[in-house]
Amino acid sequence: MRCLKLILLVVPVIAAPSRTLEKRQATGCTLPSGYTPATNSNLPDPFTFANGTKLTSKSQISCRQDEITQMFEQWELGTKPPKPSSVTASYASNAITVTCSEGGKSISFTAKISYPSSGKGPFPAIIGIGGSSIPIPADVAQITFDNDGMAAEQSPSSHGTGLFFNLYGSSANAGALIAWAWGVSRLIDALEITPSANIDTTRLGVTGCSRDAKGAFIVGAFDNRIALTIPQESGSGGAACWRISDSQHAAGKNIQTASEIVTENAWFSPVFNQYADSTSTLPHDHHFLAALTWPRGLFVIENDIDWLGPVSTTGCMEIGQLIYQALGNEDAFGFTCSSPHTHCSFPSSQQADLTTFITTYLVNKSNTTSLVQNSDKAVTLNSYYSWTVPNLS
């Protein structure tokens, strides 16, 4: 089995910076004009700027995060529009209705909220992309986000269908995942201006399973207001790295790859199709998602099923942990991969670790309990990357 065991420790946690802005609006750093990535069969270096300059200080990571965001938008996910000119909200009967207007067009969507049975709030909450299949503690509210209504995902031909495209046009280059991320950001906007919803927007998590977990990972990576991201069994297009999945497929493993995934659905931008057979030409890979969620909480849950790519998710997220370590907050990162079980079920063996992460980053916002990893059958990481993890000042 190629899964990781988690060891509980009691260690200090570095406080996260303000989460008032979406990631893409944070610093304004841009890719160099005319930037063209070099072909690289190994995983790209998250600690080197696109112009070849090495990061030397942790203070530089915000600019690098902006570059990485643009890479995902330009080569894989499509563009996440900024907050529209008008976002309004109303609350009634345990549901919040969000109305977004831009360029003379408007859309509205509603999200149901399930509250704890006791306590006054404002409550921490976990937003479930399409719902949640993980057990949510009794003192945490649950918010269900209708991702299919925001952007359809039945097949590749679904692209351009849904509320997001009603607002921005059916030819918008966004895939469903980034459209969902945009929708959740608008939901957070609405919660921020609606005190009657009784949700603490500084204590928000996001989760989902399978395809919805891919979306949850993108939501957490693209909005700093998410305090804890919990993708469950996201596999390829989520916690797995494209390059490692391709390597495993070439070795005969029955694993989903980019070239298969673009024939199945509209999760990614149509632009991604041209790179799906040559992921080595991408300037990024999915270990970069960990770089975007840093320094906030990230707990990745995987299942040792070949199609999900247990070697790819393990290797990719072990490298994600190296990113957290170099930046100084590795204890905010956790990964668990259990023995094979029914897809999107939740084994009791993962419960204690899940509860610890939710308690630490949503319920108590404490600085005491965190997680590190130990592998029971480690992936040979130097097979997949050749850069040096820096000692940042």
**Helix (H, G, I), strand (E, B), or coil: what is residue 66?**
helix
The yes-or-no answer on residue 210 being catalytic is yes
Structure tokens at 206: 């996001």
Catalytic residue among 62, 101, 343, 375: 343
Which residues are within 8 A (CB) of 206 and not within 5 positions of it... i.e. 6 or more apart? 126, 127, 128, 129, 184, 216, 219, 220, 226, 228, 229, 230
Whether the Cβ atoms of residue 209 and residue 153 lie closer than 8 Å to each other = no
Whether the Cβ atoms of residue 177 and residue 101 lie closer than 8 Å to each other = no
Distance CA 68, CA 356 (A): 29
Catalytic residue among 210, 234, 236, 338: 210
How many other C-beta atoms lie within 10 A of the C-beta of residue 42?
14
Whether the Cβ atoms of residue 130 and residue 208 lie closer than 8 Å to each other = yes
Distance CA 222, CA 23 (A): 5
Taking Cα atoms as reference points, which of 200, 196, 179 lies closest to residue 188? Answer: 200
Phi, psi of 270 (to 5 degrees): -55, -25
Phi, psi of 203 (to 5 degrees): -130, 65
How many distinct helices (H) and strands (E) make up the chain? 10, 11
The yes-or-no answer on residue 343 being catalytic is yes
Whether the Cβ atoms of residue 25 and residue 18 lie closer than 8 Å to each other = no
Distance CA 352, CA 349 (A): 7
Length of the chain: 393
Catalytic residues: 210, 343
